Amino acid sequence: MTDTGSRKSRKNGRSPGMRILVAALKWGATFFTWAVIIFTLLAGWYYLDLPDVDEALEATRRPTVTLVSADGQVLAARGDLYGIPINLRDLPVVLPNAVMATEDRRFRDHIGIDPIGVLRATVANVRAGRIVQGGSTITQQVAKNLFLTPEQSLKRKFQELMLAFWLEHRFSKDQILTIYLNRVYLGAGTYGVDAAARRYFAKPAAQLSTYEAAMLAGLLKAPSRYNPAANADAAHKRTRQVLVNMVDAGYLTQAQAKAADKNRQRRIAAGTRRIGRHFADWVLDQVPSFVSPGDRDVTVITTLDAELQRSAERRLERLIAAKGVKRGADQAALVVLGADGAVIAMVGGRDYTKSQFNRVTQARRQPGSAFKPFVYTAGLEVGLTPDTVMEDAPVDIGGWKPKNFDGGYAGPLTLSQALANSVNTIAVKVARKAGAEKVVETARRFGITSELKADLSLALGTGEVTLMELTIAYVPFANGGFAVWPYGIREIRDGSGGTLYKREGSGLGRAAHPGRIAAMNAMLARVITEGTGKRAKLGRPAAGKTGTSQDFRDAWFIGYTSDRVAGVWFGNDAAKPTKGLTGGGLPALLWRDVMTESHRGLAVRALPAETTFQPGVRPAGAPPPAEKKGFFESLFEAFSGND
C-alpha cells in the first residue's frame, strides 16, 4: 500500500464521534467569528448614536415651584424635586448597603453587568411564568436612567451595556453609587435619596435611621406601590424584606434588623393630608404670569391661612355629609377674603381627590338674591334711599310676573325692609327705576366680570357668576368702597432667598361713594339681624345676603365684616335641584362657623359708615390706590386663570 493510501486510510478511520466533534468545532469557530463581527458592527453602529454622556451627567430637570402658606407651611410643590447632592461618605453606611443588598449584591465585584444575577433572574422568571426579577446592575440602571429612553429594543439594550462598561471604566464604584443615589427616582416627585428623605421623613438623608434607609431602598422596586404616604402597610412589608436582604448580605445582624424594625418611625411626613389643593392649582397656574422660573427653583409665599384652611375644609365636609346630602346637595364651596382681596381660605369642593374641578373659580351658577346688593346700590345712585317706600304687590312686565319666595305680598315696605327679607317684587321695581344697563354697570364696577344680560330678570340673579367673582364684588362694602382683585401670591423667591416678585398692592379703584356704601352696609346688616340670614349671626358687626336660584338649584350666602369677606355655595355639579335648600340654611351656618374661626384674635370693628371717611384718608384694610390701567384691562388681569 502506498504512503498516500495509508494516510487516507488513517483519516477515514476516525471514529464518527471524532468527526462530529471536529465539525462542531469548525462550525462553532465560524459562528463565533461571525458573531464577533456582527456584534462589533452593531456595537460600532449603535456607538455612533450614543447620547452625549457629559451633557447627560449634568443635572437637567424641571424647576420646582413650592407653595407655602402665609405662616410657612408647605402647601404643594410642582416639578422635579431634587435634594442636596450628597457624597457617599456623608451618608449613613446603612443606606448604600440597603440599596446594594436589594438591587445589586455583587456591585463591588462585577464589571458593569452581572452574569450570575442575569442567570438567577432568568431562572426565577421562567419558574414564575412572568417577570418577577430583573438582572440589571446598579451601573446598568445609571446608564439607562441618565442616558437612555425607556424604549424596549435591541438597540437600547446594546447601548445600555456599552454605557455600563464605559461608566465602570470612567468612574470608581463609589462614584457610580453616588450618581445613582443622587439621581434615582423614589416616588412622590422626588429624585435622589436626599429629596426623598426630606419628603417622607422631614429630615436630610444624612440623618436617616436604619429602618428609614431600608424603606428608601425598598422604594426602588416600585416607587408608587411602596410609597409610605400612600400605602403604609405595603411600604412596611417591603422594608422588612429589605432588612432581611441586608442580613443575608452580611450588612446587618439578625438582632440589628429586629431592632431597626422595632424602633421604626410611625409617622411619615408626606402622609399628612395636604390642604388647600384647589387653591394651590389656582395659584400655580398664575406663577408664570409673574416670573419665569427657567431652571431655578422658586418658593411662592401665598396669602392662605393654613389653620383656617384646614378648619374650613373639615367644617364643609362634616356639614355636607351630615346635612347637605339629606337636603339633596352633594357639593359645596367656600372662599374667605381679606378686605384687600387676599384669598385667606378656599375650598373648591368637598373632596379634591375625587374632583379637581374648582367650584370657587370655575363653576358659573345663578346667584339668585345674592345679586341684589348691586341692584339696590344702582337704585341708591339714581336717587332712592333706604327709607324709600315701594309696594310689595304683583308685578307684570310684558307678561313676566315675578313672585316672592313665599308667594305672598306684604304691601308697603321700605327698601331696607325689602332687602332684609329678600322681596323679589321690590327688587324688580328698583331695577326698573335704575335701569337694567345701570345695574350691569354697577356690578361691573364692583368686580363682576361674567357676561350679564341687561334685562330686569337680572334683579333676581338670573345671570351666571362664579363664587369668586360674587364674593370679591362684596369686598367694597367691607373696605369702604374700593373694588379689588382677588390674589393669592404675596411674594416669589428664588432658591437663594432673593425676591423675584413682591405684591405692592393695587386695585380697580373706587366702586361707589362712601355714602352709598354706608347705606348698603346698614341695609345688608339687617339681613343678618332680622332678615333671611339670621343663622349667620357672628356676635360682631356683620352684613350679607342670602341667595337661592330657581328650583332650589343653588344656595348661597355672601357676607362680610370690616376685616373678612366670605362666600359659600351649596348645590350639585349637574345643577340638579336640591330638596328646598336655601341660602339662609346650610350656607349661612357654614359661613358663620368659618367666619367665627377667621376672626379669632381680631378686634371687633364697626362696618364702614359715612362718618368714618375723611377726604384723602384710606380706610383701614382698603387697598392702595389703583394702578393707571384701563378698566377692562384691569378686569382681565384680575380674573385671568380663574376659569
Please answer whether residues 215 and 241 qualify as being in contact, where contact means their C-beta atoms are separated by less than 8 angstroms. Answer: no
Residues near 580 by beta carbon (within 8 Å), at least 6 away in sequence: 327, 328, 552
Q: Please report the DSSP string for 241-290 in residue order.
A: HHHHHHHHTTSS-HHHHHHHHHT-----GGGSPP--HHHHHHHHTTHHHH
- What is the C-alpha radius of gyration for the chain, rounded to an integer number of angstroms? 36
Instruction: Point out which residues pair with 564 in neighbouring strands.
Output: 338
pLDDT at 17 over 50: yes
More confident residue, 10 or 28: 28
User: Mind listing the pLDDT tens digit for each residue in 541-554?
Assistant: 999 999 999 999 99
Q: Please report the DSSP string for 324-392 in residue order.
A: ITTTT--EEEEEEEETTSBEEEEE-SS-TTT----TTTT--B--GGGGHHHHHHHHHHTT--TT-EEEE
pLDDT at 127 over 70: no
Other beta carbons less than 10 A from residue 129's beta carbon: 7
Q: Cell numbers 346635612 label which residue? A: 323
What is the distance between the alpha carbons of residues 350 and 586, in angstroms, rounded to a whole number?
Answer: 14
Residue type, 457: S
* Residue (of 317, 332, 341, 335) closest to 279 by Cα position: 335
For residue 487, give the DSSP letter.
B
Q: Order of strands, edge to edge, in the sheet holding 298-302? A: 74-78, 65-68, 298-302, 489-494, 499-502
Cell representation of residue 390:
315701594
- Read off φ and ψ for residue 426, nearest 5 degrees: -75, -35
User: Domain 84-271 carries which CATH code?
Assistant: 1.10.3810.10
User: What's the pLDDT score for residue 296?
Assistant: 72
pLDDT at 421 over 80: yes
User: Mind listing the pLDDT tens digit for each residue in 177-187?
Assistant: 988 898 888 88
N-terminal to C-terminal alpha carbon distance within the chain: 106
Burial annotation 517-542 (CB, 10 A radius, 16+ → b, else e): bbbbbebbbbbbeebbbebbebebbb
User: What's the pLDDT score for residue 492?
Assistant: 95
- Read off φ and ψ for residue 570, nearest 5 degrees: -125, 145
Beta strands in 13-98 (DSSP E): 65-68, 74-78, 81-82
User: Mind listing the pLDDT tens digit for each residue in 334-384?
Assistant: 999 999 999 999 999 999 989 999 999 999 999 999 999 999 999 999 999
pLDDT at 489 over 80: yes
For residue 93, give the DSSP letter.
T
pLDDT at 100 over 80: yes
Query: Would you place residue 555 in the very low, low, confident or very high pLDDT band (cuts 50, 70, 90)?
Result: very high
User: What's the pLDDT score for residue 628?
Assistant: 39
Average of per-residue pLDDT across 596-601: 96
User: What's the pLDDT score for residue 218?
Assistant: 94
3-class SS at 414?
Answer: strand
pLDDT at 24 over 60: yes
Q: Could you tell me where the DSSP H helices lie in 49-93?
A: 53-57
Please answer whether residues 196 and 80 qualify as being in contact, where contact means their C-beta atoms are separated by less than 8 angstroms. Answer: no
Cα atoms in the Cβ-side hemisphere of radius 13 Å centred on 340: 19
* Residue (of 463, 468, 269) closest to 361 by Cα position: 468
* Residue (of 54, 491, 492, 490) closest to 296 by Cα position: 492
Average of per-residue pLDDT across 183-212: 87
Please answer whether residues 342 and 353 qualify as being in contact, where contact means their C-beta atoms are separated by less than 8 angstroms. Answer: no
Cell representation of residue 210:
436604619
pLDDT at 70 over 70: yes
pLDDT at 610 over 70: no
- Helices and strands of the chain, counted as H and E runs: 24, 16
Average of per-residue pLDDT across 2-12: 49
Average of per-residue pLDDT across 237-251: 95
User: Mind listing the pLDDT tens digit for each residue in 38-59?
Assistant: 555 445 544 444 444 455 445 4
User: What's the pLDDT score for residue 621?
Assistant: 47
CA angle 91, 95, 96 (to 5 degrees): 90
User: What's the pLDDT score for residue 135?
Assistant: 60
Residues near 383 by beta carbon (within 8 Å), at least 6 away in sequence: none
* Residue (of 22, 153, 67) closest to 488 by Cα position: 67
- pTM over 0.85? The answer is no
What is the distance between the alpha carbons of residues 128 and 23, in angstroms, rounded to a whole number?
Answer: 38
Query: Would you place residue 643 in the very low, low, confident or very high pLDDT band (cuts 50, 70, 90)?
Result: very low
For residue 137, give the DSSP letter.
-
Other beta carbons less than 10 A from residue 51's beta carbon: 13
User: What's the pLDDT score for residue 641?
Assistant: 33
**What homologous superfamily does CATH list for 307-613?**
DD-peptidase/beta-lactamase superfamily (3.40.710.10)
Q: Which one is catalytic: 311, 369, 416, 562?
A: 369
Residue 22 burial (10 A CB sphere; 0-12, 13-18, 19+): exposed
User: What's the pLDDT score for residue 620?
Assistant: 47
Average of per-residue pLDDT across 313-337: 96
Query: Would you place residue 501 in the very low, low, confident or very high pLDDT band (cuts 50, 70, 90)?
Result: very high
Cell representation of residue 640:
385671568
The top-scoring range by mean pLDDT among 152-156, 505-509, 528-532, 623-627 is 528-532
User: What's the pLDDT score for residue 410?
Assistant: 94
What is the distance between the alpha carbons of residues 620 and 200, in angstroms, rounded to a whole number?
Answer: 43
- Read off φ and ψ for residue 482, nearest 5 degrees: -100, 120
Angle of the 138-147 helix axis to the 94-103 helix axis, nearest 10: 90
Tell me the domain boundaries of the chain.
17-49, 84-271, 307-613
Average of per-residue pLDDT across 386-406: 93
Share of the chain above pLDDT 90, in %: 56
More confident residue, 140 or 328: 328
Average of per-residue pLDDT across 495-503: 88
pLDDT at 95 over 70: yes
Average of per-residue pLDDT across 149-164: 60
What is the distance between the alpha carbons of residues 156 and 106, in angstroms, rounded to a whole number?
Answer: 24
Query: Would you place residue 400 in the very low, low, confident or very high pLDDT band (cuts 50, 70, 90)?
Result: very high
What is the distance between the alpha carbons of residues 227 and 200, in angstroms, rounded to a whole number?
Answer: 9
More confident residue, 233 or 541: 541
pLDDT at 623 over 60: no
What is the distance between the alpha carbons of residues 342 and 488, in angstroms, rounded to a whole number?
Answer: 6
User: What's the pLDDT score for residue 634?
Assistant: 40
What is the distance between the alpha carbons of residues 585 and 338, in angstroms, rounded to a whole number?
Answer: 24
* Residue (of 172, 188, 268) closest to 180 by Cα position: 172
Q: What does the mean pLDDT of the chain come to?
A: 83
User: Mind listing the pLDDT tens digit for each residue in 254-302?
Assistant: 999 999 988 776 556 544 468 999 999 999 999 988 887 666 778 999 9
The reply to whether 103 belongs to the active site is yes
User: What's the pLDDT score for residue 169?
Assistant: 76
Q: Which one is catalytic: 69, 103, 212, 598?
A: 103
Other beta carbons less than 10 A from residue 55's beta carbon: 9
Name the pairing type of β-strands 298-302 and 65-68. parallel
Q: Do domains 84-271 and 307-613 have the same CATH topology?
A: no
Cell representation of residue 548:
337661592
What is the distance between the alpha carbons of residues 323 and 160, in angstroms, rounded to a whole number?
Answer: 60
pLDDT at 160 over 90: no
- Read off φ and ψ for residue 488, nearest 5 degrees: -125, -5
